[in-house]
Amino acid sequence: MKIHSYGALVSLALLAACADPPVEPIGDDRPTGAGDVVDADDEGSAAAEELEARRTRLLPATLAWLQRVNQQYAELSVDDLATLESVRISGDYETAELDLLAHLPALREVIIWRDGEHRAPPHPRPAPTDEDLAALVLIPRLRTLRIGGWSAPFTDAGLRSLSAHEGLGGLWLAQAQAITDEGLRHVATMPALLTLNIHYTKITDVGLAHLLESSSLESVDFGWAADSKAALRRFVAAHPEQTLIAD
């Protein structure tokens, strides 16, 4: 796991053995014979077709919502939604409306961040709540989530819900003031997480220690918090078995 802090690259070579990657089940590649039952496949195909038809019906509503929450999408068409990989929400929304994101077949990244949020609190929505994070778990194609910000009200409880997402590889929590070291205990259980940003948070060396339990995490952006330098020193002192490399 690499920790980036104040421009210095800190690499922690984890000595604990990581869990072996899950073995993909080997499917049955035999050709279907005359006596084979294919009703289950037919039912699955019908369900997939119905799901696609429902998605197509809801695309106009999804487009209208996107254009409301971000003026940059004003020129988008329904056809454009088929290849839209990243969505930035910078206007007010309701938790239930996040379900519309599930109808974007190419979606990989969601950013919920109000312009100017980096300057000073407080700000109104969009600022993800714990309920929002639970809703985002229902978007299995999601790979990157950027939801930080000074006014973000989500807490450790929201991170516990989000930890159920099995495919999320990148998580940005910068400036989130309501999360604590305990929240990183939940983050460490995310099976596919590779990168984490916790700039300007209240995370300490205790939270960093929780991240050592992750079997997938490779890089952490940590710094600019009031105690980050001291926390990093305490972390290194508490884990002398780790190898520290700083540029």
Q: Which of 108, 113, 110 is nearest to 143 (CA)?
A: 108
Phi-psi domain of 69 (left: phi exceeds 0; alpha: psi -120 through 50; beta: other):
alpha
- Torsions phi, psi of 156, nearest 5? -60, -30
CB 11, CB 243: distance < 8 Å: yes
pLDDT (tens digit, 0 to 9) for every residue of the chain, 247 residues total? 666 665 443 444 332 333 344 444 444 444 444 444 445 566 667 765 665 666 678 899 999 999 999 999 999 999 999 999 999 998 889 999 999 999 999 999 999 976 554 444 444 556 789 999 999 999 999 999 999 888 788 999 999 999 999 999 999 998 898 999 999 999 999 999 999 999 888 888 888 889 888 889 888 888 776 566 777 777 777 766 554 433 3
The CATH class of 2-14+78-246 is: alpha beta
List strand residue ranges (DSSP E) for the chain, in order.
Answer: 2-5, 8-12, 86-89, 109-112, 144-146, 170-172, 195-197, 219-221, 244-246
The per-residue pLDDT for 68 is 94
What pLDDT is recorded for position 212?
86
Cβ within 8 Å of residue 199, ≥6 positions away: 148, 174, 175, 221, 222, 223, 224, 225
DSSP conformational letter for 14: -
- DSSP string computed for 115-132: TTTTT-S---S----HHH
Residue type, 44: G
Element (H, E) at 50: helix 39-69
pLDDT attached to residue 178: 92
Structure tokens, 176: 């989130």
